[in-house]
Structure 1
Amino acid sequence: MDEQTFSRRQSLGLAALAVGSATLAGCARAEAAPAVAAPLAAGGAAPFVTKIDFKDPYWTRDTYARLDADIDPTKEKVGWISGKAFGVRPNEKVRPLFKVEGFSVVRTKRLEDGSWRRMLREIVFYRDIETGEILKQWANPYTGETVRVVPIANDPFNFTITAFQPEGPSYGGLQKTQASMKPFLQDWSFGADGKMVLQTGIDMIYPNALDPKKWVRESSGPMNRVSEHFIYVVDRADVENPALTHIPAVGSWSRITPWLPWMLMGQADGHISYFTHFGTAKNGIADLPADIVAAARAMDPKWLSAPTEDYGPSLSSLENYAREQTPAPVPAGWVPPKAPSGMGQ
């Protein structure tokens, strides 16, 4: 879930397309693959690969699409996420700052070359670390200032799942990427008790949409350094089941990102570290906490459903913040908060 996130954050699916090692041998199926994939058949059956082969990019493509979404275009998949965000500064222990909880809603469509286009909205709220209440304001312990909280709200975060290694997100052109024709392979392994495990992630540094000259208090500097990593755990029987257009999963999402812009930390030393768990909401929106659903609906009812058509651009919350918010006033003599000079308690 980038702020990129649920995806990504990525589960929310944000950067979960990041791949493990890839070899040209993985393209062996390319000649045998159909040029045009058949549409979903009646009753929910679909022409996707279920025979497990970690070196087959077509198995990877179809399995990841079934994991990230539901490849029946008439269905929506709801993913939820819950955990905490921590502040990390030099010379002091890591500090839990607030809880995070939210969800994404995604649908897919099959492209003529057999790829899957996934179309997603995601929204994540921050909760008080003690009471669990959804935060509208937050007392920043680093500055002593009460600030307005801005939830993650990305509409859309779309990408195409193909048999080739995906490009990284461009964030509206801020991160320059190059097309790759390497096969799409991921770091899958067999776990205990009939389980399978996928580990995936992405590490990025790219120009900051929040120019520090304009966004003095919100910007962490001229560059964003962001890492997101996921662990998915699934049942092997589900992966091999040709009747399942979605593979239920549980797992974890971690993210390292600059100070959130609404914290008004400027270019202070340190960063935010998210540590969360995620899963599939079997009964959709009905499985989500009522206050999260109500808060999303109050912002806009659209957050409770997936896009029905493809549009963009697909941006993370950092780029959306630059587009939707305005710079905070800079008090005379303001400087970013400093970390302790020695070992903190």
Structure 2
Amino acid sequence: MADYLKDLPDDFNPGPLDLDQPLDNQVALLKLQADLSGADVQGGFGGKAWAWLPGKENILLFNTYGIGCSRLEYDRESHAWHFSHREALFYLDPVTNEVLKTWKNPMTGKTVEVIPILNDPVNRIYPIEGGRFAPPYPYVVNGDNLVFQVDVLRAEPNTMSRAEYPLHSQQDVYQSGELWAIRGSLAEINDPERTSASCHTAWGRLAMWLPFMEMGDTPGIMIYHSQSFKLANGWQDLPEHIHSYVEQNHPIYFKAPEKFLGMAANDNSWTYSKKIIDKRRKEAGLGFADSVFEID
């Protein structure tokens, strides 16, 4: 058998897989999203980010490019897979594709500092049964194409309240939608000698305005649309300017986290931005209504 993880579920089947059997269904998804040998998996995803403005014309704000690096392990004690992951997404000029450090907001006319998405970590737990990410996952098959459709809609207390972050937060409830279509080859997934299969994911995201946009009082949402690929040749498959930018500025994102720290350690744009806002307010003696991202 191929070089699979040392620890595996008792009924683990490397293939062929029965997608209507929960564990086989889960193994298929994990062959797409990760590598059951425990090796790091690299991904790249280019796309666009739009402003959806009620009653107004929608605006293309940015091109985007993101990277992610993941590692999988099986925890026999909890009967669950631990998915360790860190990811970054950069906002690019929609014409030149240059990574933006500052940006003139077409909706406010103000120039602000751009804060990329730097999520370290973004961990997940895939239990064999019970829990949010337990199998079976919904799928469709067409010929050799297998597609898992995974919709994750969140509504939870916002780490940045309207009262304390009126410029940076639209509401006291953090809401977002992540819409994934995870596609791969049935032949690859069913091959017991493959611990990992090639993967393409169509990713859509609905979210509130980013904190650095300082549009807490403005109705509307962000829409992201990206195409993500597992990088067959590793980081050398990245666009050259993205690879160079990450290497110079955020090289840690070229590696998966060394240790699984659980879900409580997860970061997102709001938790990351809050740290920046709170630090700058304290250092400069700024109030709740003061800008921390506007460039004079």
Q: TM-score under structure 2 normalisation?
A: 0.86
> Which residue identity does 2:232 align to in structure 1?
K
Alignment partner, residue 214 of structure 2: 264
Out of 294, 308, 315, which is 2:267 matched to?
315
Cα distance, 1:165 vs structure 2: 4.6
Alignment partner, residue 155 of structure 2: 205
> Which residue identity does 1:305 align to in structure 2?
K
Alignment partner, residue 196 of structure 1: 146
Is residue 2:118 matched to residue 1:153? yes
Is residue 2:20 matched to residue 1:55? yes
CA distance in 1 between counterparts of 2:85 and 2:91 reads 20
- The answer as to whether partners of 2:102 and 2:112 remain within 8 angstroms in 1 is yes
Out of 179, 199, 202, which is 1:229 matched to?
179
Q: For structure 1, which runs of at least 5 residues remain unmatched after alignment? A: 1-36, 169-182, 335-345
- The answer as to whether partners of 1:79 and 1:280 remain within 8 angstroms in 2 is yes
Cα distance, 1:297 vs structure 2: 2.7
> Which residue identity does 1:76 align to in structure 2?
D
- The answer as to whether partners of 1:87 and 1:94 remain within 8 angstroms in 2 is yes
CA distance in 2 between counterparts of 1:216 and 1:165 reads 39
Alignment partner, residue 105 of structure 1: 69
CA distance in 2 between counterparts of 1:308 and 1:141 reads 41
- The answer as to whether partners of 2:44 and 2:238 remain within 8 angstroms in 1 is yes
CA distance in 2 between counterparts of 1:269 and 1:120 reads 32
CA distance in 2 between counterparts of 1:166 and 1:60 reads 16
Cα distance, 1:110 vs structure 2: 2.1
- The answer as to whether partners of 1:65 and 1:116 remain within 8 angstroms in 2 is no
> Which residue identity does 1:159 align to in structure 2?
R
- The answer as to whether partners of 2:167 and 2:289 remain within 8 angstroms in 1 is no
Percent identity for Structure 1 against Structure 2: 25
> Which residue identity does 1:54 align to in structure 2?
L
Change (3 A) 1:263 1:330: farther
Cα distance, 1:199 vs structure 2: 1.0
CA distance in 2 between counterparts of 1:38 and 1:301 reads 27
Moved segments of 4+, more than 6 Å: 330-334
Aligned residue runs from structure 1 range 1-345, under 5 A = 39=6, 47-73=12-38, 75-112=39-76, 115-167=80-132, 184-192=135-143, 194-311=144-261, 313-326=265-278
Q: Larger strand proportion, structure 1 or 2?
A: 2
Cα distance, 1:100 vs structure 2: 0.8
- 1:39-69, Cα deviation, whole Å (9 max, x unpaired): 179xxxx954434333321112212222111
Change (3 A) 1:49 1:165: farther
Cα distance, 1:311 vs structure 2: 2.2
Cα distance, 1:211 vs structure 2: 1.8
SS in structure 2 of the partner of residue 104 of structure 1 = strand
CA distance in 2 between counterparts of 1:60 and 1:106 reads 20
CA distance in 1 between counterparts of 2:270 and 2:288 reads 23
Change (3 A) 1:286 1:211: same
Change (3 A) 1:153 1:130: same
CA distance in 2 between counterparts of 1:208 and 1:69 reads 30
- The answer as to whether partners of 1:38 and 1:47 remain within 8 angstroms in 2 is no
CA distance in 2 between counterparts of 1:64 and 1:161 reads 10
SS in structure 2 of the partner of residue 325 of structure 1 = helix
Cα distance, 1:330 vs structure 2: 7.0
Q: TM-score under structure 1 normalisation?
A: 0.74
SS in structure 1 of the partner of residue 84 of structure 2 = strand
